[in-house]
Structure 1
Amino acid sequence: MSSSSAASQSSPIAEASPLSLCAREPHVPADRLVAEMVPPPRFDSVRFSTYIPDPNQPSQIEAVDVLEAFAAGLGGAHASGAGKARRGFLGFGRPKAPKVPAGPRGVYLDGGYGVGKTHLLASLWHATPAEPSLKAFGTFVELTNLVGALGFQQTVQTLSGHRLLCIDEFELDDPGDTVLVSTLLGKLVDAGVALAATSNTLPGKLGEGRFAAADFLREIQGLSAHFRPLRIDGEDYRHRGLPEAPAPYSDEQVTKAAYATEGASLDDFPHLLEHLARVHPSRYGALTDGLKAVCLTDVQPIPDQSTALRLVVLADRLYDREVPVLASGQPFDQLFSEEMLKGGYRKKYFRAISRLTALARDAKSLVTH
């Protein structure tokens, strides 16, 4: 037996080197941006019937009722059977869901992070009776990227034939983008497109750590009459009744797991942050194509706000795609400074911590195995 054969049999580490996010510089054509305006993999199979409301939060069950009725108003069968069974199980014997008034052509889901707004938004997309090519789902950032790639008029033409446009994480911290998207939505409403949205916190409007519907309606200017606000109260479901996130692992554990896991990437965290500055956030989804796990060494607190906001986008794309994250260094709840967690982007950072913690929990098996 050759020495190389003996080495390959004795080593517990896979021969192939892990992938590297820092080595990737994806280019995303405009037609891919349009084709990918569907619920991401994590929300591909969600439905109203799979939403698990907190029995202590009646507003969560009411939101399901109203959204089911909204889908029915768009021409679909009202999925009332599952809703009735769920309400009976939880003891909420309420009357039949109210119909959405004929006036509003949109709904706005107002609530904190982790109450299931994206789950409900994706469920609405799935329940709307139209071919996938006639309904669109994307984040606010993805929508502005689409306008940048196609141009405003072409984006209007592309989306005008749709029955429904769902916008997750509507961002109001950039006045220019807000006016741009508000104008776009006005054109789409005129074309008969129904709208649904969730939103991020406006700087200085922290309140309870959630965004206020009145602020959303004011920021989208003349579109307020087209939206019906739905407040959804509750705690972050990602950590409801679950054990605490695992503590960070050692560099050696993370490296070994990366080599032993097919389709895993391995990057030094500070270098990854530098690389993200060279890749447009619209390409972060493509940056994660084909990854089965992300392994990071030397996780450190984020040095500045621009870097922090880029990491938030990457965390969202990894969460959407259900990519576990194994890390060494500092725990994820220490990524953002106290000043950041009290500032205008507070809600984004808490969402990133919540999602990265969930992905870290998913990655435990990489080391266990």
Structure 2
Amino acid sequence: MPSFTAASGIDPITETGPLSLCSREPHVPADRLVAEMVPPPRFDSVRFATYLPDPDQPSQREAVGVLDGFAGGLGGAHAVSARRSFFGFGKARTPKVPAGPRGVYLDGGYGVGKTHLLASLWHATPAEPALKAFGTFVELTNLVGALGFQQTVRTLSGHRLLCIDEFELDDPGDTVLVSTLLGKLVDAGVALAATSNTLPGKLGEGRFAAADFLREIQGLSAHFRALRIDGEDYRHRGLPKAPEPYSDDQVTKAAYATEGASLDDFPHLLDHLARVHPSRYGALTDGLRAVCLTDVRPVPDQSTALRLVVLADRLYDREVPVLASGLPFDQLFSEEMLKGGYRKKYFRAISRLTALARDAQGLVGD
């Protein structure tokens, strides 16, 4: 468990009334980072059989078949040869020197079930949990920061599979770091799987001078066979419109009436997120059964917006309902942001927060 310090001097675990995200500053030990590289609670029980392909989108059903076959090729002593045969490169005489893509890359819009499929692949791979790892791109880069590059390579090289969710390259440093890390892991025989809203050859486009790092980006792309998954956001497919924001009084009363709920002013929470590393946002939400926010308003800048995206992802992974007053979640990001290089991240955050707002409707009494 992480340790917490309280900016107010009050222990947030024992304080009477709602908890507060703003009073939490979690410190996560490195061994927890490694131990928790498994699918998050929302995806703990998913399997290929529980994925419901849209009948109008054949690419979804095709992806299930490809990934199921990929998982089957990762078992036993001949996993490396099976992987290469699966991708059409024949048998491997020297498994430490791969000749082609050693992983699958799920590309598609938000809400088409990519994380469901990635977690299903993790569960279907015939290996002990200690021999396969699952984490977001942010969690992977933070692991390198916590352990150091060489120790991260040693830690993950013994794995049969590394799954990377929400694969994004937001700066040149991450590009070089991840390109080098994945190259070494592939050389060690580790299979890769990733999800993103951006094809591997387009990573970093619109966010930094991708052309200056073309070699690294192309090197990343070479590790994967891309699978396009088409479709609409399943979180809103056939569902009623998201609830309108509630009043401050309704949110506050619900927070006091719900055991394990937090209550925070949205602008203050955004300020607090700047003081906590995004890799700790999962720990920030430990033990919460609901998040209550008052005075939701548009985020003021891109850095703040990207931190909010990470928090939304961690809340969604952990199935924590979000009850809010102020503006609707689809008004969080400016029109300029929704047209910029991070637009897919922002749309994902809107989609996930809207789903969590729908989950929170039962917290408000009649």
TM-score range, shorter chain: 0.7 to 0.9
Q: Does 1:164 align with 2:179?
A: no
- Which whole-Å CA distance do the structure 1 matches of 2:342 and 2:101 have between them? 30
The residue type paired with residue 330 of structure 1 is: L
Give ranges in structure 1 of 5+ residues lacking alignment: 1-14, 77-97, 207-215
Task: Specify the alignment match of 1:55 in structure 2.
Answer: 55
Please state if 1:259 is matched with 2:256.
Answer: yes
Q: Secondary structure at the match of 1:64?
A: helix
2:59 and 2:241 map into 1 onto residues whose CA distance is: 27
Deviation at 1:200, TM superposition (A): 4.1
Between the aligned partners of 2:130 and 2:204, the Cα distance in structure 1 is 35
Per the TM alignment, residue 176 of structure 1 is displaced from its structure 2 partner at its CA by: 1.2
Contact 2:57–2:230 under 8 Å retained in 1: yes
Q: Distance in 2 between matches of 1:166 and 1:115?
A: 17
15-24 vs 120-129, greater mean Cα deviation? 15-24
Matched, 1:327 2:324: yes
Q: Does residue 101 in structure 1 map to residue 98 in structure 2?
A: no
Stretch moving more, 222-231 or 122-131 = 222-231
CA displacement at 1:224 relative to structure 2: 3.8
Identity %: 89
Matching of residues 2-13 of structure 1 within 5 Å:
none
Match of 1:10 in 2: none
Residue 230 of structure 1 is matched in structure 2 by 227
Post-superposition CA distance 1:22-42 (Å, at most 9, x none): 000000011011011100001
Q: Rate the CA distance shift 1:194–1:325 in 2: closer, same or farther, 3 A.
A: same
Residues 171, 204 of structure 2: 8 Å contact kept: no
Structure 2 counterpart SS, 1:170: coil
Residues of 2 paired with 1:199 and 1:148: CA distance?
22
Question: Aligned partners of 1:353 and 1:224: how far apart in 2?
Answer: 28
Q: What SS does structure 2 have at the residue aligned with 1:167?
A: strand
Are 2:295 and 1:287 aligned? no
After TM superposition, give the deviation of residue 101 of structure 1 in Å.
2.9
Larger radius of gyration: 1
CA deviation map 1:89-131 (0-9, x unaligned)? xxxxxxxxx9543553200111111111111000000000111
| Kept after mapping to 2: 8 A contact 1:277/1:307 | yes
Give distance in 2, aligned partners of 1:22 and 1:199: 30
Cα drift, residue 223 of structure 1: 4.5
Alignment of 1:310 with 2:297, yes or no, is no
* Cα separation, 2, equivalents of 1:361 and 1:239: 10
Does structure 1 residue 144 correspond to structure 2 residue 131? no
Q: TM-score, normalised by structure 1?
A: 0.85
Quick one: distance in 2 between partners of 1:30 and 1:204?
32
* Structure 1 residues 174 and 61: alpha-carbon distance in aligned structure 2, compared to 1, 3 A threshold: same
Partner SS state of residue 364, structure 2: helix
Inter-CA distance 236–205: structure 2 relative to 1 (3 Å threshold) = farther
| Secondary structure of residue in 1 paired with 2:351 | helix
Could you list the runs of 4 or more consecutive aligned residues of structure 1 that deviate by over 6 angstroms after TM superposition? none
Matched positions, count? 325
Structure 1 equivalent of residue 19 of structure 2: 19
Q: CA deviation at 1:343?
A: 0.7
Point out where structure 2 has 5 or more consecutive residues left out of the alignment. 1-14, 77-84, 90-99, 208-212
Q: How does 1:1-369 map to 2 (within 5 A)?
A: 16-75=16-75, 99-102=86-89, 103-201=100-198, 202=203, 204=205, 220-368=217-365
> Measured at CA, do residues 184 and 109 of structure 1 come closer, stay the same or move farther in structure 2, by a change above 3 Å?
same
Whole-Å Cα distance in 2 between the matches of residues 351 and 204 of structure 1? Answer: 18
Residues 298, 329 of structure 1: 8 Å contact kept: yes
Q: CA separation in 2, counterparts of 1:324 and 1:360?
A: 6
Residues in 2 aligned to 1:190 and 1:237: alpha-carbon distance in whole angstroms? 37
Code of the residue aligned with 1:165 in structure 2: it is L
Deviation, 1:204, is 4.8
Aligned partner of 1:5 in structure 2 is: none
TM-score under structure 2 length normalisation: 0.85
Change (3 A) 1:226 1:280: closer
* Residues 219 and 346 of structure 1, relative CA distance in 2, 3 Å threshold: farther
1:354 alignment partner AA:
S
Could you say if the C-alpha distance between residues 18 and 223 of structure 1 is closer, same or farther in structure 2, counting changes exceeding 3 Å?
A: closer
Partner Cα distance (1:203, 1:197) in 2: 15
Q: Distance in 1 between matches of 2:215 and 2:172?
A: 12
Contact 2:39 2:135 in 1 (8 A): yes
